[in-house]
Structure 1
Amino acid sequence: MLHLTAALDPASRVPLYQQLYRSLAGEIRSGALPAGTRMPGKRSLAEALGVSVNTVDGAYQMLAAEGYLASRARSGFYVQEYPALPGRPEPPAAPAPAAAPAGPPVRFDLSTGGVDTRLFPFRTWARLQKELLYTSPQLLARGDPRGDIQLRQALAGYLEEYRGVRCTPGQIVVGAGIEYLLSLLAPLLPGPAAVEDPGYPRARQVLENSGRPCRLIPVDEGGLSVADLAASDAAVCYVTPSHQFPTGVTMPAPRRAELLGWAAAAPGRYIIEDDYDSEFRFDTRPLPSLQGMAGGDGPVIYLSTVARSLAPGIRIAYMVLPRSLLPAWQERYSLYSATVGRFEQQTLARFIQEGYFTRHLARSRMTYKARRNALAGALTEAFGPKARLSGLHTGLHLLLHLAGPVPSDQALVRAARQAGIRLAALSGYSMASPVRCPSGTLVLGYGALEDSLCPELASTLKKAISAACASSSRV
């Protein structure tokens, strides 16, 4: 009989026929059983291995189904040709991962993406979603790639009332995050794209990954410089006019009109308005959106998300397209699937339509305003005239400007990290040259900060910066 090396383990959880199948398939792949070899009969192999005929038959049938064996009438099973796989060159050794920066555990996380997850409306959200799970089995089916119509209707009504956005539900596209929507949008747009500097590095990366080269446009006290934008060859402009990230300035109405004039000066130009945290304006009424100023048929593409207002884990963002882009969107993406689950979409739709969203925002706004006041007060008390604050009116981060000679921004960030504080310097958001950013300016996100920790944070940060200044003066 043909010599086989099959070794079967009756104690294994893997059925014997699968063990035999794996063993024989391995011998065929390795060439130990060459093509044309006639396999032993089922009964003789079963007797040799001490297993049932059904075990051997099950293994042979699996091998035949996958093309390892071929059955010939009144003759048996024969090994089929299995081409030898070409050898693969050894890949180069992967570089050693960069060592994590040394330092104590993070006690104060001041990164700008943090939110207070304790504010999430757990009970209301869970109740709405539970009701949908029990009453709406149709949501298990595939939905509209643009998002469920109920959510798009709810968003259209909310945006018109609170942000002055003028659109129909048919202009809204729902997707799993702003980055995803921006990556789909980029191929529909012309030419190079302008981005703010300092600005949101992820937007630039997404645009460039999607084939749109980026032009870096400086930001001044009125936001993006339209004069520098006009001097560039950009045909698209990505901007955060309500709360420029990360400087915190709000683009005034005259500058907004100037920006809309730039878009109207040449056919095919577009403005991408990222309205990422306009819900949290504490001291004054927010200016209407650029999209609302331009109108539903204007050149503005409006982007926003619930990452700040609800939680980053609720992966729901939305985009309002001008009517001029709808045919191109439909042609390119009509066969795509929605990237947000329909139960989550419908839960958010009801959350908005039944008034829970506006009440949640009101409570969150009060909480964050109190936290901003606590942090600003603690920083003012700790630093006194040696620092000033800006960007307090909107959003979930502020800027701390240190006076006098200070170490490099990198040294300040390192000193803070050694003290258990995670933060960034303004210059870290500059993609062209850090010279555009005043040195000694720190960006402090307070969304995830506990109010009671503000005094301790301010005191710890003051000590860390003082130690960094002392060390720098000795060098």
Structure 2
Amino acid sequence: MNSWANVGMDLHLELPRGIGVKAALLQGLRDAIDSGGLKPGTRLPPSRSLAVDLGVSRNTVADCYTELAHAGWLITRQGSGTVVASRADAKAGDARGITQSPSKPPEQEPPRSALSFIPGSPDVSSFPRAQWISSARRSLTSAPNDAFSATDPRGRIELRTALSSYLGRTRGVRTDPEHIVVCASSGHGLTLIARVLQETVAVDAYGLHLHRDLLAAEGIRTVPILVDESGTCTEQLASTQAKVALLTPTHQFPLGGPLIPSRRRTALDWASNSGGIVIEDDYDGEFRYDRKPVGALQAIAPQHVAYMGTVSKTLSPAIRIGWMVLPDRLIEPVLALKGPYERWVSATDQLTLADFIDSGRFDAHIRKMRTTYRRRRNQLVDTLEHRLPDVRITGISAGLHAVIQVPRGTEGAILSAADGLGLDLVGISTFRHPDAPPAGIDGIVVGYSTPTPSRYSDALERLCTAMESVL
């Protein structure tokens, strides 16, 4: 039996014709490197493997590798194979007539990591890699064969079962696996629900602009309703033409307050009386510090609330897993939109997350990060109280961001000063609905979960310096 197909790795080369085999191979390799087809650091196949693929002798390939290494095009290391050198070194090698290969690749200056307080991301350096790998190994080892074929558009039953238990225990959600539909993100879930309903959506006058953009892209009109420190002014819902309301009742984004009980009841009464739907975006409900837990709105009226959550704040936005807990009337239409099988979320990631939840690792990670983020929040508050005692900080009892209220007319100047210091910031005006009146405040929305631990103090220093230069 021929075994050539199992030797080494593939390499596509265009060899010029009309010249000898060795000359053609030398020219083909140089052209591939010079054009960028073979990038610096790319490992080349062993000489035996490439010789079999090209139908030439192994010595021919080995001689070409050696000659190109002497000229600086390639780098050879004992026991590590042959890799492509940088183009600069290759050209310099040709010019200088280098006769020996460099002992190691040229050092490249690592890109400077930006400092950012943009909200929306956890501390990605704290991702629980070892625990996630353990859950992946265990879940894939025990997975049934059908886990590796087309998956139910609802999502893997293992994950939906784990989520049903977890959401009921931690968020008070009333559900079962049949009412849960897995999606790729809250934005994905929102798009699916909006496509089904095709109704005007009431949104917070200050809210996540990315969600408004997604709705606009679907041709969905949004109408703003006021928000304050008690959350969304849900009494305004009845005066709108909306049949859908998008709310963040646990922790209003970006102002940060929870929706008070009377306004929660008003929202549910509106949905019940009008036949409307409340879309509840529970984006960071796990993180609370100085207040009692606020349960999900869905728990009070499951048939009038579509509940959404993801792991983008608790674990990482790189894990594209979210979920919807849907009223009966939305399940089949949403599944029809998703199609006959799951096309969005990896089944193996779903199995891993199911094990991560069932094993208790998810709870342990959240408790750990809750402590970490509380410490960061306290450091932010203490630093600002010491350096800028006249500014007011709000929305800090929960979540992963805070709002620093600043004097009117200073928001833009602070953002410009921060940019000059290499710090990414966002102002509260970014989140205002274009049809909403200004709230009468200027502010900076600080995502204190975003920087890595080693850069957090530096980011705080730059924030204070930028603000002190303006205030």
Q: Which moved more, 1:105-114 or 1:423-432?
A: 105-114
Q: Say which of 117, 126, 140 aligns to 1:119.
A: 126
Of the structure 1 ranges 423-432 and 390-399, higher mean CA displacement relative to structure 2 is found in 423-432
1:246 to 235, 249, 254: 254
Q: Does structure 2 retain, via aligned residues, the 8 Å contact 1:306–1:316?
A: yes
**Which one has a bigger Cα radius of gyration?**
1
Normalised TM-score (structure 1): 0.73
TM-score (norm 2): 0.73
Q: Which string of whole-angstrom CA distances, capped at 9 and with x for unpartnered residues, describes residues 235-262 of structure 1? A: 1001101011111011011110011011
CA distance in 1 between counterparts of 2:456 and 2:332 reads 51
Aligned-residue offset at 1:434: 7.4
Give the Å deviation of 1:106. 6.9
Answering whether residue 243 of structure 2 is matched by residue 235 of structure 1, we say yes
Distance in 2 between residues matched to 1:217 and 1:339, nearest whole Å: 33
Secondary structure of the residue that 1:360 maps to in structure 2? helix
Give 1:72-83 correspondences, 5 Å limit. none
> Cα–Cα, structure 1 residues 137 and 327, in superposed 2: closer, same or farther, change >3 Å?
closer
The answer to whether residue 282 in structure 2 is matched with residue 275 in structure 1 is yes
The alpha-carbon deviation at position 460 of structure 1 amounts to 3.2
Contact 2:116 2:423 in 1 (8 A): yes
CA distance in 2, matches of 1:108, 1:434: 31
| Matching of residues 109-148 of structure 1 within 5 Å | 109-136=116-143, 138=145, 139-148=147-156
TM-aligned CA distance change 1:430 to 1:8, over 3 Å: same
Total equivalences in the alignment: 367
Shift of 1:168: 1.3
Which residue identity lines up with residue 402 of structure 2 in the other structure? L
Shift, 1:137, TM fit: 6.8
Q: 1:424 touches 1:444 (CA, 8 Å); kept in 2?
A: yes
User: Is 2:200 the partner of 1:192?
Assistant: yes
| Aligned match of 1:411 | 413
What CA distance in whole angstroms lies between the structure 1 residues aligned with 2:128 and 2:441?
A: 40
Q: How does 1:75-474 map to 2 (within 5 A)?
A: 108-136=115-143, 138=145, 139-267=147-275, 269-294=276-301, 296=302, 298-384=303-389, 386-403=390-407, 407-432=409-434, 435-450=437-452, 456-469=458-471
Offset at residue 328 of structure 1 (A): 2.3
Structure 1 Cα separation of the partners of residues 439 and 422 of structure 2: 25
Cα offset, 1:317, TM superposition: 0.5
**1:309-367, CA deviations, whole angstroms, 9 ceiling, x for partnerless residues?**
01111111000110122232344444243411111100100111111111111111111
Aligned-partner residue type, residue 383 of structure 2:
A
C-alpha contact (below 8 Å) 1:165/1:292 kept by paired residues = yes
Deviation at 1:107, TM superposition (A): 5.2
CA distance in structure 2 between the partners assigned to 1:165 and 1:173 by the alignment: 14
State the shift of 1:292 in Å: 0.3
Letter of the 2:182 counterpart: V
Deviations 1:175-218 (Å, cap 9, x if unpaired)?
11111122122121142111111101111111121232111222
Q: Is the 8 A contact 1:391 1:398 kept in 2?
A: yes
**Per-residue deviation at 1:457?**
4.0
- Distance in structure 2 (CA, Å) of the matches to 1:209 and 1:221: 30
Over 3 Å counting, the alpha-carbon distance change for 1:130 and 1:188 in structure 2 is: same
Q: 1:343 to 1:272 in 2, by over 3 A?
A: same
Aligned partners of 1:353, 1:335: CA distance in 2, in Å? Answer: 28
**What secondary structure is seen at the aligned counterpart in 2 of 1:437?**
coil
Q: Which amino acid in structure 1 is aligned with residue 127 of structure 2?
A: F
The answer to which of 409-418 and 231-240 deviates more is 409-418
Conserved? CA contact 2:229–2:256, under 8 Å: no
* Residue 368 to residue 389, structure 1, CA distance change in 2 (3 Å): same
> Residues of 2 paired with 1:114 and 1:185: CA distance?
24
Structure 2 CA distance for aligned equivalents of residues 432 and 203 of structure 1:
13
In the superposition, relative to structure 1, how do residues 133 and 191 fare at CA in structure 2: closer, same or farther (>3 Å)?
closer
Give the Å deviation of 1:461: 2.8
- Contact 1:374 / 1:454 at 8 angstroms: preserved in 2? no
Q: Is the 8 A contact 1:400 1:441 kept in 2?
A: yes
Unaligned regions of 5+ residues in structure 2, if any?
A: 1-15, 26-111
Q: Is the 8 A contact 1:147 1:338 kept in 2?
A: no
Alpha-carbon deviations, 1:69-122, whole Å to 9, x = none?
Answer: xxxxxxxxxxxxxxxxxxxxxxxxxxxxxxxxxxxx775310002311232211
Gaps of 5+ in 1: 1-6, 14-104, 470-475
Asked if the contact 1:375/1:454 (under 8 Å) is kept, the reply is no
Distance 1:131 1:418 in 2: 48
Q: Distance in 1 between matches of 2:305 and 2:166?
A: 18
The answer on whether the counterparts of 2:140 and 2:348 sit within 8 Å (CA) in structure 1 is yes
Question: CA deviation digits over 1:10-32, x for unaligned, max 9?
Answer: 6567xxxxxxxxxxxxxxxxxxx
Aligned residue identity for 1:464: A
Partners of 2:321 and 2:152 in 1: CA distance: 15
